[in-house]
Amino acid sequence: MADGYKKHFSGSYFFLGRNLSRMDYVSVLERTLVHNFLHFFVPALATWIFYRKDWRSSYIFLMLTMLVDLDHLIADPIFDPQRCSIGYHPLHSEIAITIFALMLIHKKLRIFGFGLLIHMSLDGLDCAWMASFSPGIPNS
């Protein structure tokens, strides 16, 4: 690897209790930004595809499913970009995800189940990205 590249990414960044290299800091920041953008964009896309007729209320219902992240409040620290939510937080457990899938059966609960499964998929994607693109950062 070219020395210039190494030099550009040298130095350490103290970020949420960790010393990260510049490259790791940028990758964590980038992943966090993309992840949060997707939490708004994918439900919007789903609304456009499946609920175009009443997109306003549908988008609100899908956004309400973000309240599932309230389970982060009982975790310490509350926010850690290097922690995989799936299987860690109670409302992100396998049992919870099974219940969200069962919500698809009931007509009135369907949109919430759908939103929650979108949420879990995006959190799962974040875990996969975290595992593959954060070299040098120990997973907690």
Q: What single letter denotes the amino acid at residue 96? A: A
Minimal distance in Å, beta carbon 62 to Zn ion? Answer: 14
Minimal distance in Å, beta carbon 45 to Zn ion? Answer: 18
Q: What single letter denotes the amino acid at residue 12? A: S
Q: Facing residues of 18 across strands?
A: 15
Minimal distance in Å, beta carbon 56 to Zn ion? Answer: 24
Q: The tokens of 28 are what?
A: 């964590």
Q: What does the chain come to in residues?
A: 140
Selected from 9, 13, 23, 69, the binder of Zn ion by CB under 5 A is: 69
Q: The tokens of 89 are what?
A: 């937080």
- Measured from the CB atom, the residue of 27 and 85 that comes closer to Zn ion is 85
- Measured from the CB atom, the residue of 9 and 35 that comes closer to Zn ion is 35
Identify the sign of the CA torsion 66, 68, 74, 79. Answer: negative
The site string for Zn ion over 78-117 (x = CB under 5 A, - otherwise) reads -------x--------------------------------
Q: Which stretch binds Zn ion (CB under 5 A): 18-26, 61-69, 110-118, 129-137?
A: 61-69
Binders of Zn ion: how many residues, by CB under 5 A? 3
The CA angle 131-95-72, to the nearest 5 degrees, is 60
Tell me the C-alpha distance between 139 and 106, whole Å: 38
Picking from 132, 98, 100, 95, the residue whose alpha carbon sits closest to that of residue 118 is 100
Minimal distance in Å, beta carbon 86 to Zn ion? Answer: 8
- Measured from the CB atom, the residue of 24 and 123 that comes closer to Zn ion is 123
Contact residues for Zn ion, defined by CB under 5 A = 69, 85, 123
